């Protein structure tokens, strides 16, 4: 779970461009606002190139370098998740709730899935004595029906 410095949970509701730049320790610019707005609306796990294409629609003059820098500063502060899959460029996820990813084998589509209500990683995995899970970055592979929507895409 991501928290702000006071220990308050970061949720989709609290994650705004103003909040994100403050947490990342950078100042607000039109460019950063555009990149963050794109990110906060992108639950399809876009690549940096896709984020750049979308940010250009909001702010035509934005440069790829600016987009990369902004994404990197947000990822470094763990305000967004940077995902490394074995078969392609990094992808980015604005969902800061604990979740794992399922990737479709054929289309490389990625969706978020939460643990079932009331379960923690400790309930699901055989963890050796003393091991405590602080965050999850697992991903699963399989088939995702075309019409399947994860909770945050609805
Ligand atoms: Zn995700």
Contact indicator for 31, 65 with CB cutoff of 8 Å: no
Looking at the structure of the chain, the number of domains it has is 1
Q: What is the Å distance from ligand 1's center to 100 Cα?
A: 7
Domain annotation covers residue 20: no
Q: What is the Å distance from ligand 1's center to 29 Cα?
A: 26
- Taking only the tens place, the pLDDT of each residue in 9-67 is 556 556 788 888 888 888 899 999 999 999 988 889 999 999 999 999 999 999 999 99
Q: What is the Å distance from ligand 1's center to 66 Cα?
A: 23
What residue has token string 């990149």? 35
Domain annotation covers residue 102: yes
Q: What is the Å distance from ligand 1's center to 138 Cα?
A: 10
Domain annotation covers residue 147: yes
- Taking only the tens place, the pLDDT of each residue in 94-103 is 887 778 899 9
Contact indicator for 80, 92 with CB cutoff of 8 Å: yes
Cα angle for residues 80, 83, 86 (degrees, 5° grid): 175
Domain annotation covers residue 65: no
Domain annotation covers residue 129: yes
Q: Could you list the residue range(s) of the whole structural domain that residue 137 is in?
A: 97-153
Domain annotation covers residue 53: no
């Amino acid at each position: 779970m991501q928290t702000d410095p006071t220990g308050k949970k970061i949720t989709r509701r609290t994650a705004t461009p103003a909040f994100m730049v403050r947490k990342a320790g950078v100042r607000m610019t039109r460019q950063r606002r555009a990149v963050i707005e794109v990110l906060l609306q992108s639950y399809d796990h876009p690549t940096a190139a896709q984020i750049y294409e979308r940010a250009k629609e909001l702010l035509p003059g934005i440069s790829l370098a600016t987009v990369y820098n902004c994404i990197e500063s947000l990822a470094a502060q763990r305000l967004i998740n940077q995902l490394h899959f074995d078969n392609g460029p990094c992808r980015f996820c604005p969902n800061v709730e604990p979740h794992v990813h399922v990737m479709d084998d054929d289309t490389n589509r990625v969706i978020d899935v939460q643990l079932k209500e009331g379960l923690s990683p400790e309930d699901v995995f055989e963890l050796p004595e003393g091991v405590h899970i602080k965050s999850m970055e697992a991903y699963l592979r399989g088939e995702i029906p075309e019409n399947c929507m994860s909770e945050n895409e609805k």
